[in-house]
Each structure stands twice: as structure tokens, then as C-alpha cells.
Amino acid sequence: MYERCLNEAERILASDKDVIVPVKKIWEAVDKQGKRQGFEIPALPDFTALLEGDARFEFMPSLDENGDPMDGSQRDEADPQEELETLGFYSGDRVKLKSVELTPETLGGLIRRKVDLTMDALTKAWERRPEGDQNAEDQLLDILAKTQKLQREVKSTFSPEKMKELEAALDQAKKKKASASKTKKPAAKKRAPAKGTAKKKSRSAAVKPRAKKSASRPKSKRSPRS
């Protein structure tokens, strides 16, 4: 029934640079396509269940079995969720395509984009800061400075060049491990003794050698009577 919906989710997820994407973000994009193309879209909880049950997707829940956040943080229902989502920050479950491998280059790009997104959001917050609140300005400036420093460090540490070098080193290590396992000779098996040999040995060990008879003394000749 919802095969077209799932196919559209697969297409959208395959084109997303982040690879690991919030389910709600995918659902909103599929919903837009459904309204344009005229196919039915389930509610978010049902859509989430469909992704979780489809073999093409790798589902990453945000809550554990007790309903608590997986990262250990506290849930805050008072967060301005809609405003955060307009800035690109989604809460909730994540999903990725199983066919897409998480390489060092992919992860490095993901981290750089997230930090850049945070910096853009803070810059917009500074532009919309309340006038006359010096304390709020000082706090925001401090956060901006720290985030800018983090942005520089992330760009240096997770640069595309370094991620490519790391990926090449990992590939080389995998190849060496694979070739080593192929060239490794199996341990020689001990040959079993031929049939009958063991029996002969056991018999010879069981039969004790007979003791030699002591040589009998020669009878003494009687002297003739005189």
C-alpha cells in the first residue's frame, strides 16, 4: 500500500549528503512529494514503523526501551521545536540506507556540516538578539567565539584530505589482513598410526620376556673304589 511512499523515501535519503538523516525530515520531504504526485502518506509514527520494518533502511532510534533519550540527556517538552527545525535541527529517530557505507570521508563531511549549521544558527540568533540586554549579548558572543574556534578545529582535524588518507590507510590494512589470512598455511595434521601397528605394539608391550634358565651344574664324577 505504501510502497511508493517508501520508494520516495529511499530516493530522498540517497540524495541527502548527511547520510544519517532525521526520520521527520524525510517524512516532511515525502509528504511534499505525495501532495504533488497524489499518493498517500501515513502519519509520522506509522511512517517511522514502515522504515524500521523495511530491509533497505537502517533505523536508529533516539529513545531506549524505557522511553529515555539514547544519549542520556533529559527530554524537554518546552523546547521551541518548530523554530529549531526551521534552522535544520531535528530531534527524534534517525535513518540511513543500508547500502551506503559510513567511510571516514563521509563521517568527516557530516561533522563539518553539523558544526557549520550550528554556526549559521548562532549567527542568525545574534542578528535577532533583543536590544538592550547586555547580559544576553555577552553570553551569545561567548558561545559564538567558542563555536568559531570549534569550527576551525573541526575543519583542520576532519579535512577532506585527512579523511581520504585515513580511508586509504584503513583499506590498506584490510587488504593486508585479507592476504595474510590467505597465505597462512593450515597446521599439519598428525598422521594416525597404520592399522595393526598399534595392536602389535600393545601386544609386544604386554608380553613380558621369559627369564632364561640358569645353566645346570655338571654332575661330579665319582672316584673308583680302591
Per the prediction, the chain carries an average pLDDT of 78
CA distance 156 to 97: 28
- 90 and 113 part of one domain: no
The cell for 41 is: 502518506
- 91 and 12 part of one domain: yes
- Residue 220: the pLDDT is 47
At 155-201, the pLDDT tens digits run 888 888 888 888 788 778 878 887 777 776 555 555 655 555 555 45
Task: Count CB-CB contacts under 10 A for residue 41.
Answer: 20
**226 pLDDT higher than 50:** no
- Beta-carbon contacts of 63 under 8 Å, excluding residues fewer than 6 positions away, are 69, 70, 93
DSSP state of 159: -
- 87 and 126 part of one domain: no
- 164 and 152 part of one domain: yes
- 41 and 135 part of one domain: no
Q: Find how far residue 126's CA is from the centre of its chain.
A: 38
- Nearest Cα to Cα of residue 59 among 19, 97, 31: 97
Domains contained in the chain, number: 2
Among 45-49, 107-111, 149-153, the range scoring the smallest mean pLDDT is: 107-111
- 121 and 85 part of one domain: no
The pTM score is 0.57
**103 pLDDT higher than 70:** yes
Could you tell me if residue 162 is inside a domain? Answer: yes
For 76, the domain range is: 1-99
Could you tell me if residue 19 is inside a domain? Answer: yes
- 95 and 168 part of one domain: no
Helix spans in the chain (H): 3-15, 23-37, 44-53, 81-86, 104-127, 134-157, 160-183, 197-206
β-strand partners of 94? 22, 60
